[in-house]
Structure 1
Amino acid sequence: MRDTLRVQLWPLPTLGVALAVVAGVGLPRLDERIRHDMPSWLRDYLFGGSADAARSVLTAIAGSLVTVTALTFSLTVLTLQLASSQFSPRLLRTFTADRYVQTTLALFLTTFTYALTVLRTVRTGEDEQTEFVPQMSVTAAFVLTLASVLALVLFLSHLAREIRVETMMNSVHSAADRTIRRLLAEQQDTAGGEPAAGSPPAAPPEPPANALTLTVGASGFLTSVDEAALLKVAVEADALVLIDRYPGGSLIAGTPMGAAWPRTGEPFSPGTWTRLAEGVREAVRTGGERTDLQDIAFGLRQLTDIAAKALSPGINDPTTAVHALSHSSALLCELARRDLGPRLLRDDHQQVRVVLRRPDLQDLLDLAVSQPLRYGAAEPAVLARLAMLLRELAWSSAPDQHPAVTATLARLRSTIDAQNLHATEHFRLIELTERVDEALTGRWTHGHRR
């Protein structure tokens, strides 16, 4: 729920409108109560016009803020459309989660609502009414208007910076890096999770031949797994549970997503199996779109989308693709330093109860390389950056991860050989692939070969 609200545009503006209504009702009452006891020095700083002047000011504020709010919404929607069509639809979450945009919209709507609410309390003295001008309330509306004008200028500056592709990729990289560090740190430190550092990693249990199949409850993208709930139902059923799908994957209702089998070897009773299957389905949550809540590959997916879109014939921007591959390389090197093996959840007696699959380095490398390699096969700059990516990853990865780099390097070499490149370009690319072989042996050659 918290992650869902974080990427919505409406919660913060709605809260601002609610606070504006409360302030618009309460502050004029305070004005009326203390207007005769107000110190003269304070009165000099407050609004000093008549009731008609107060109504004119509040009407002008409310009318102008409606226009400004409509303009801000239009610019925001235009930015979302630009990001979706030119870069990737999966970048929309980055914009809608922007606190600056949410705060700006909230300020504009708060000012409009507050001015409109205070306007109803101004009395001109006609129809036997006592004239009343809420001086503090009108002054507060004026201050909010000044803040809104400043926010509009800053918003336009912020928007101009945010629609740059370099800023988008930096935002994606930062969010992905936070997700990787947060998830892996939790997996290493959470009680009942991974064993302590320095202990040998335990081999995950494999399902026996009589293991029962767990099926998906609702179609959609796997957004998160409630580990505590999953561990609880496994312990209650005295079972071992394997979830073979990981966050970010597409699930179809009724299809297998894992297996479960009794820890003691005795068959499940019908009631126990029913409770276990229902508990697992409730713990594995799906949604209509991918999120970075537990999806360590989501950032790579966004960067790969940017690279693939930049290499399309309609855009033809290999420089952007090269920059996107640079960010992907940094994320892959960070992931290579982390434990990408299955996530093991243990009970209070340190017995493995749940096995959660995670994407390995080969899966992540395929995600980052396959599409840029296919769509940028004829562009030497893209091929050179892919070779450098593999070299950087070879240097950062452990020996047991080298087969993933070697397999991808073979694909890169075959793609280079299949292209009709100039002899100089072909020689340079082959030289770069040889540097990958050197990095795999722990050597890094500086400079160019002759």
Structure 2
Amino acid sequence: MRAAVRRWSGATADAWRTQLWPVPTLAVAVAIVLGVGLPRLDAHIDDELPAGVTAYLFSGGPEAARTVLSVLAGSLVTVTSLTFSLTVLTLQLASSQFSPRLLRTFTRDRLVHVSLGLLLGTFTYAVTVLRTVRASLSDQQAFLPQVAVTVAYVLALVSVLTLVVFLAHLSRQIRVEWMLREVHADTAVTMRRLLSDAPGAGVTAPRAPPVPAEAVPLCATASGFFTSIDESMLLATTINAEAVMYVDRLPGDSLIAGTPIAQAWPLRAAGPLNAADRDRLQKCVAATLDVGFERTAAQDIAFGLRQIVDVTVKALSPGVNDPTTAVHGLGHISALLCAAAGKDLGPRLLRDRAGEVRVVLRRPSFAELLELAVAQPGRYAAADPDVFSRLVMMLREVAWVAVAPEQHLEIVGQVERLTVTIDRQGFGEVEHRRLHDQLKDVRRALIGRWPPTPSS
């Protein structure tokens, strides 16, 4: 039951953040309540309102009110259709021009949600109030809900202003600089939330216990992307089972039902886990590990890098041919890698009250993040010396902030690979020499030297 509640809460929260329908649906529901409630309130208070208040309320007759509400409803349907069309066009542009993985950045935009909700809510409210306005006939008494009609007029004015703000916001949204900045900011927030600072020089980071030969595999129960894991529930279950667990799949990995994603073994006893404890841990893995149809940034440190790398590589494709965007993307990748170099990227260790390690959660290493940032851009930028130059400069910047010896080894390995790539290209003598000099500067940065770039 607890797992079901947790899953339902997570699914609902994700829907409100990344889908377009929840906020407009809520706005329509609120509009119906107000459209029914305010006319009833009018029926009780309109005759008792002071003159100072009624001077600011709608002063026309029932026919005028019906005309105003009809015009509002008809125009808002047109405006809402335009807003939806522009939103869909923006999503299509982001998917085809930049990367399909950027769609989450657009669909979770609160201004888009609020704009659609306000327009649909105002339309629903106007139609709901319209049904209560009555002209005086032989068999019925005239009824004009002054407060309700006035509220409809105010909502229409707010909707017009919102449309202007939405159009201005949309023109900014489709700029690649804005998209890269948003992804960069989200990734930086995820890193700060999930990663602690790296231990200082001379401080030995705690090590994860080795996985013994008698460890038994625990398998995924659903196929999809590993999005998040409930650490507290996982730790509590391993403590109750007197076991240790090593989760060797990363958030963002693609899981296949029936394949191993973790290993477990007894904390004290020799040999493998008994059948009861293994079944308990297997059920725990199924209950604590969330699997979705797409990657999210909730616990996936590498997802933001993946998005920016996609934009960079797409910009280098012959169909787009936008090296300037690729250079901008490499700048954001460099900033994120420099931030990651100062973080503790070792496995996350969950301990019991006695200090014993009970759960080991694998995290992307610096080597994996560096490979993600360099491999594909290096492959597709090989024909463009300017983009390749920015890629080498990125390595130089990362080399300057990296302090761990293992980080230096990874950077040197990437330098050697890029050297081979340069030698295979048909660059001119000047470009060839310039790129090799920049690669030498990467090695100098590793030892704390940063000579100034000579003027051309």
* TM-score of the pair, normalised by structure 1: 0.96
2:408 pairs with one of 384, 396, 402: 402
State the Cα distance separating 1:259 from its structure 2 match.
0.5
SS in 1 for 2:368: helix
**In 2, distance between residues paired with 1:216 and 1:166?**
39
2:359 is aligned to 354
Indicate whether 1:387 and 2:392 are aligned: yes
**In 1, distance between residues paired with 2:287 and 2:87?**
36
Contact 1:3-1:293 within 8 A present in 2 as well: no
SS in 1 for 2:48: coil
User: What does residue range 285-304 of structure 1 map to in structure 2 within 5 Å?
Assistant: 285-304=290-309
SS in 1 for 2:269: coil
State the Cα distance separating 1:5 from its structure 2 match.
2.3
SS in 1 for 2:195: helix
* TM-score of the pair, normalised by structure 2: 0.94
SS in 1 for 2:454: coil
2:446 is aligned to 440
Percent of pairs identical after alignment? 56
1:221 pairs with one of 208, 214, 225: 225
Contact 1:230-1:283 within 8 A present in 2 as well: yes
Matched letter for residue 266 of structure 2: P
SS in 2 for 1:35: helix
State the Cα distance separating 1:269 from its structure 2 match.
2.5
**In 1, distance between residues paired with 2:433 and 2:227?**
45
1:113 is aligned to 124
**In 2, distance between residues paired with 1:293 and 1:326?**
23
1:242 is aligned to 246
**In 1, distance between residues paired with 2:138 and 2:409?**
88
Contact 1:239-1:261 within 8 A present in 2 as well: yes
Contact 2:15-2:22 within 8 A present in 1 as well: no
1:191 is aligned to none
1:251 pairs with one of 249, 255, 267: 255
Matched letter for residue 231 of structure 2: E
**In 2, distance between residues paired with 1:4 and 1:161?**
24
2:112 is aligned to 101
Gaps of at least 5 residues in structure 2 are 1-9
**In 1, distance between residues paired with 2:269 and 2:103?**
48
Contact 1:59-1:115 within 8 A present in 2 as well: yes
1:335 pairs with one of 334, 337, 340: 340
2:6 is aligned to none
User: What does residue range 53-68 of structure 1 map to in structure 2 within 5 Å?
Assistant: 53-68=64-79
State the Cα distance separating 1:160 from its structure 2 match.
0.7
Runs of 4+ in 1 over 2 A off after TM superposition: 194-201, 265-269
Contact 1:233-1:280 within 8 A present in 2 as well: no
Q: Per-residue CA shift, 1:143-199, capped at 9, x if unaligned?
A: 0000101111111111011101111111111111111111125xx8xxxxx999997
Indicate whether 1:317 and 2:328 are aligned: no
2:146 is aligned to 135
Contact 2:180-2:308 within 8 A present in 1 as well: yes
Contact 1:344-1:354 within 8 A present in 2 as well: yes
2:433 is aligned to 427
SS in 1 for 2:263: strand
**In 1, distance between residues paired with 2:155 and 2:202?**
57
**In 1, distance between residues paired with 2:385 and 2:98?**
22
Contact 1:16-1:109 within 8 A present in 2 as well: yes
1:23 pairs with one of 31, 34, 54: 34
1:78 pairs with one of 89, 103, 109: 89
1:175 is aligned to 186
**In 2, distance between residues paired with 1:19 and 1:199?**
57
Structure 1 residues 102 and 449, CA, compared in 2 at 3 Å: closer, same or farther? closer
1:416 is aligned to 422
Equivalenced residue count is 443
1:278 is aligned to 283
Contact 1:20-1:111 within 8 A present in 2 as well: yes
**In 2, distance between residues paired with 1:197 and 1:7?**
41
State the Cα distance separating 1:449 from its structure 2 match.
8.4
**In 1, distance between residues paired with 2:306 and 2:121?**
37
Q: Per-residue CA shift, 1:58-96, capped at 9, x if unaligned?
A: 111111111111111111011001100110000000000
Calculate the aligned-residue CA RMSD, in Å. Answer: 1.7
State the Cα distance separating 1:131 from its structure 2 match.
0.5
1:232 is aligned to 236
2:136 is aligned to 125
Indicate whether 1:345 and 2:356 are aligned: no
**In 2, distance between residues paired with 1:431 and 1:197?**
30
**In 2, distance between residues paired with 1:431 and 1:272?**
59
Matched letter for residue 144 of structure 1: L
